[in-house]
Each structure stands twice: as C-alpha cells, then as structure tokens.
Amino acid sequence: MTWTAPSVERTQQLSDLGAVTERRMLEGWLGRHRETLLAKCAGLAPAALARATVEPSGLSLLGLVRHMAEVERWWFRRCVAGEAVGEVFTGPGEGDEGMAGVDEAHAERDFARFRTEVEACDAAAHGRDLDETFLSPRGVPLSLRWVYVLMIQEYARHNGHADFLRERTDGVTGD
C-alpha cells in the first residue's frame, strides 16, 4: 500500500483561544496553523504532494512542509535556544529553504522530519519567558514573543499558498 499524508486531528479549536493567557494564545494559534498545513496535505499520495500545481511557480505542498520545518528550526532552535544544529532541508537561497529538491520518494520521511522538528521546537521554547531575548544574526535583539508572532504570520502566509495548491491538486477547499 502506498503511503499517503495522514489525516490531522484538530487539537487547537479557535473557540478555545479567545480568553486565555498570552502564552496559551500564541502557542494555540501556532498549533492551529501547523495543523492547517498538514490538513491541506491529508490523504494525498507522494506524487500529488510533490507536484507544483500553480504554474509557473515550482511551489508544492511537500515543499511547504519541508520549508516550515526549516523555518521552525531556524527560529526556535538556532536563534531562541542557541542550539548548534544544521539544516533539516537546504534550499537555493535565503527564504526558500526546503522548497527546492522536493522528491516524492521522500514524502513520508519529510513529514516525519516536520513532526520531529515541531516537537523539538516546542521543547526549545518550553519554560522560556516570552520576554526572553536573543540577538538575531544581524545583531537585533528579538524576543520569544516576536518569534511566535513571526511564525504565526509565516504559517498564515504559506497556508494561503497551500489553499491554492490543494484546490488545484484535487479540488478540495476549506479549512
């Protein structure tokens, strides 16, 4: 049997995030966006995940999953936690890490790496204060709160791309 992207159980309900602590709200919105990206991929075979469907862009759903694993690693593990970890996926230039080199033969592995990276990033942020700061690679002081907001924005932008990619793949729309 051919592997397909697994279905996603929604654990983050927007109705549960209306009147909670700031930390819970940021974690909840980030979790919701992570789940949304995976939900856009659910049920698709590797070839469909790797296919670029919005020409002339080479963007694919699998490329987005790979890219977000790399972005999470960069901000939470490298910057916030100061871990000396290499790249999960490489890319041709700044901002498109993981999007190139997509191979349907590695779809299952890439999804597993995404999930592992999300867990490691959550662990890197756990117990840290939202006001904790670090210096960006350009020497700008940034807070963990800033990283959460950036990641929510990054997922929101790419989930919009995922909407189009999925609709062009098999007509599926919606959250």
Task: Render each residue's pLDDT in the chain as its tens digit; 175 residues.
Answer: 789 999 999 887 888 888 899 999 999 999 999 999 999 999 999 999 999 998 888 899 999 999 999 999 999 999 999 999 988 876 555 666 778 889 999 999 999 999 999 999 999 999 999 999 999 889 999 999 999 999 999 999 999 999 999 999 999 888 7
CA distance 166 to 49: 9
Within 8 A by CB and 6+ apart from 70, the residues are 87, 88, 89, 91, 97, 98
Q: Which stretches of the chain are DSSP H helices? A: 22-41, 46-50, 61-72, 107-125, 144-170
